[in-house]
Amino acid sequence: MNTYKIAVVNGDGIGNEIVPAGFAVMEAAAAKFGFTLQREDFPFGAGYYKAHGDFIAPGALEQLKKFDAILFGAVGLPEVDDRLPFKLFTNLIRTSFNQYVNHRPVKLLQGVLSPLRTKTEKDIDFVIVRENNEGEFVQNGRILYPDEPYGLATDTSVFTRAGITRIAHYAFQLAQKRRKHMTNVTKSNTMIHTLYYWDTVIEEVAAQYPDVVYRKMYIDAATANFVLRPEIFDVVLTTNMLGDILSDLGGAIMGSLGFGSSGNINPEGDFPSMFEPIHGSAPDIAGKGIANPVGQILSAALLLEHIGETAAAAAITAAVNATTSAGIFGADNGGSHSTNQIRDAVIARL
């Protein structure tokens, strides 16, 4: 029997409700498919920052390295500077563990009516591959003389050949496993240095995958096509910031950001990968038991797929679809079922 060590970080807000729901579904799948999960909880996040002055404990990165994967909720509280969660937790984990792939599926669940009234499950089924360690989010900049008339602020993007090459290979290899189409979403007609270089390196990699249809699309056109023609997408490769924005639009066309899952992946397995829903900590509804756990549960399925338990992952995804097909929804999608009721419905369908 395989045994996996899973680090669990609820984070803040609704993370304290949806992460336990997600792990409960993982445990049910483990019991069904004959493997064991060893869980250790870590209290990191904005709440930890309020008590200790940092988002994680000293030496925590070394501790987390020992795990097979990390199941994570979300970080952030209204009373904590909203520039800090990314800097002191999310990006710290992503860069320290070389999680250079942000893998975000966009797939309409069974029984869910998309806001796109003419689109069905076969139309909304693609994956956004977001470069996760470089680009616009490296926080390479400063503010000078902020209170003076000549004050200025800079943020400088960083794109490296190595970083672009590795994320491009991941996207093309994923496309080979799917429908063999890969779209590079860019803005190189105005970002004429960084994103021109991004396009150039991706096109070099594309030549190594002649079986995959490759196209380039500007971000403004891609945004429109997500709404008008989502069926044309299979794998979407884009930069750190553009991917962050596009994946929220992807969640919206699925019917709710509460359905969106993601993995921060180190494909080589040198470090643990981290799996989380695409939404935030939603402190306004925390403690009410009404948060939608589906994105967290599907993130747990991505975790199991990543560590090799593909049958269990597929079963969770099927159970989620059976649950939504039965009309079991939270308030975010017009339903009245609680977090735990949705959890229990998914487990019952396993």
pLDDT tens digits, 212-268: 999 999 999 999 999 999 999 999 999 999 999 999 999 999 999 999 999 999 999
The letter for the amino acid at 350 is: L
Looking at the structure, do residues 233 and 127 belong to the same domain, yes or no?
yes
Judge whether 14 lies within some domain.
yes
In a domain, 290, yes or no: yes
Domain assignment of residue 25, yes or no: yes
pLDDT for the residue numbered 175: 98
Model confidence band, residue 324 (pLDDT cutoffs 50, 70, 90): very high
Q: Which of 194, 223, 253 is the last residue of a domain?
A: 253
Task: Please tell me the distance from the alpha carbon of residue 149 to that of residue 146, in angstroms, as a whole number.
Answer: 8
pLDDT in tens, 11-21: 999 999 999 99
CA distances from 318 to 29, 226, 267, 315, 348 (A): 12, 25, 25, 5, 12
If asked whether residues 124 and 183 sit together in one domain, one would say: yes
Assess whether 157 and 234 both reside in one domain.
yes
Q: Which of 196, 225, 253 is the last residue of a domain?
A: 253
Does residue 259 belong to any structural domain of this protein? no
Whether 171 and 76 map to the same domain: the answer is no
Q: Is residue 146 part of a domain?
A: yes
- Please tell me the distance from the alpha carbon of residue 279 to that of residue 19, in angstroms, as a whole number: 13
Question: Range of 57's domain?
Answer: 1-99+267-350
* Whole-number pLDDT of residue 294: 98
Among residues 10, 33, 34, which one has the least CA distance to residue 21? 10
Total domain count for the chain?
A: 2
**Distance between alpha carbon 5 and the CA centroid of its chain, in Å?**
21
| Helix/strand/coil for 184 | strand
In one letter, which amino acid is 166? R
* 347 domain-assigned: yes
**Which of 32, 36, 52 lies closest to 44 in space, CA to CA?**
52
Instruction: Identify the pLDDT of residue 121.
Output: 95
Rounded average pLDDT over 318-338: 95
pLDDT, tens digit, 9 for 90 and up, residues 260-274: 999 999 999 999 999
CB atoms within 10 A of CB 215: 11
128 and 89 co-located in one domain? no
Q: Kindly state the tokens that stand for 230.
A: 């989502």
Is pTM beyond 0.85 here? yes
Residues 236, 183: Cα–Cα separation, whole Å: 5
Span 46-102, pLDDT tens digits: 999 999 999 999 999 999 999 999 999 999 999 999 999 999 999 999 999 999 999
**Best CA proximity match to 320, nearest among 349, 292, 285:** 349
pLDDT digits (tens, 9 = 90+) for 117-166: 999 999 999 999 999 999 999 999 999 999 999 999 999 999 999 999 99
Residue 1, pLDDT above cutoff 90: no
Average pLDDT of the segment spanning 322-329: 97
The enclosing domain of 81 has a CATH number of 3.40.718.10
